[in-house]
Structure 1
Amino acid sequence: MYPTELSSYDNHPADTSTQLYMVGLNNALMIHQEDLLGEVRNALDKINKGTYGICEICGENINEERLEAIPYTRLCLECEEEKRPDPEIIRNMRPNEELVIDAPFGRKFLNKQEDDEHEGIDILNDLMKYGSSDSPQDMGGYHDYEEFYTNKIDKQGIVDEMDQVSNEEYRKQVD
């Protein structure tokens, strides 16, 4: 929504999100320009003090080619490279906030033995017990609904031994 508009009621969501993106981009560019202006002012102060072109870490003179390329630089190339963190470390770093974020945004679905929370597949299995558009014929290997919705690994819903008796066992007795 531009400042001249009174309402965003008739705007398409894509237009609104484009405008939001542009506002964020303009803010980022403005902050970058302000930071750059601060660096230039710092370089001008160093010229007035007579310390321009001297590395702030090692105290050596900064190469003239580097000063021509980046006039506001504070460090020589060697100190800049030592100060720069290893790209491999940066790539593997995750924000501290991720340690406390819980599902569905946190470290979920880890597939570890100790990860026994009630997860998405468990919820799907619980819902499938009440039915779905799939039938045993759609999912190969199942002959009837009883076999289709049981969970023989977790033995969900089994309280005593009689609960484990299935219609299949009764059918074998009749045949």
Structure 2
Amino acid sequence: MKRWESQRQWLTKEREQVLDRLQHSGEYGLDDPMNDELGELSGYDNHPADIGSELFERGKDLALRDLDHIRLQQIDQALQAIDEGRYGVCNRCGSPIPEERLEANPLAALCLACKQEDERLHPMRERPLEEAFLHPGFGRTATDDTSNVAFDGEDAWEAVARFNQRPSYARDYEGYGNVSLDDNEGVVEQTDRISNEEYESQLP
């Protein structure tokens, strides 16, 4: 146990700091309800974007608090491992964790090889939850590989995309020669076409 005394001191100090933050919600800006901080009678505004920035900040503060809860659990597990003589041993393969690694990160519970393997097997674990929900594209409504012939999400996207197609421009881009604009794109009212230079040149 004396062997890991420096790690124990660091973990104990870190635990006190995390606990102090958790015991004072003001550290995360969570002392008051969001509506009270905004000075609004109600959070139901005309448009969700009216309090978009404030809602983002509140979500960030909650995430910081949750991270401290997770960090406190990791610290307690490391301190318990020191008390039980299990500290410095990889939780997965049982091989010793190099002291250099524990000096750099006293919370390390896996050796370097197991940590790299863990990150390889769980590449999405640290990614936003929404990414798993959105992958693959149209995953929730795709019916291409089934016997279902319903109008699915991909069909809806293709239908909407067709409204933005311009055949004459597509031919131009594909090398069919220059095609003149036939939909008045870029054309404005005559008065709006007058540039500032043209206007100044007409002044007496």
Please, what TM-score do these two structures have when normalized by structure 2?
A: 0.45
Match of 1:77 in 2: 112
* Cα distance in 2 between the residues matched to 1:109 and 1:30: 41
What percent identity do the matched residue pairs reach? 33
Q: Deviations over 1:115-147 (max 9, x none)?
A: xxxx1255679xxxxxxxxxxx9618xxxxxxx
State the partner residue of 1:41. Answer: 76
User: Separation in 2 of the partners of 1:96 and 1:18?
Assistant: 24
Aligned to 1:64: 99
Give the distance between the partners of 1:9 and 1:109, measured in 2 at CA. 32
Q: Which has the higher contact order (CA 8 A, sep 6+)?
A: 2
Query: 1:24-173 counterparts in 2 under 5 A?
Result: 24-85=59-120, 95=132, 98-101=138-141, 106-107=153-154, 119-121=159-161, 139=182
User: Could you say what the CA RMSD is over the residues aligned between the two structures, in angstroms?
Assistant: 3.9
- C-alpha displacement at 1:61, in angstroms? 1.1
| Cross-structure match for 2:8 | none
CA contact (8 A) 2:35 2:42 kept: no
Instruction: Indicate the residue corresponding to 2:146 in structure 1.
Output: none
Decide which of 18, 31, 46 is 2:53's aligned counterpart: 18
Larger radius of gyration: 1
Q: Tell me what 2:35 maps to.
A: 2
> Structure 1 or 2: larger helix share?
2
How many residues in Structure 1 have an aligned counterpart in Structure 2?
117
Counterpart code for 1:3:
D
Aligned CA distance change for structure 1 residues 76 and 27 (closer, same or farther; 3 Å):
same
The answer to whether the 8 Å contact 2:89/2:97 transfers is yes
Give the letter aligned to residue 54 of structure 2: Q
Q: In 2, distance between residues paired with 1:45 and 1:73?
A: 13
Report the CA distance shift for 1:54/1:122 in structure 2 as closer, same or farther (over 3 A): closer
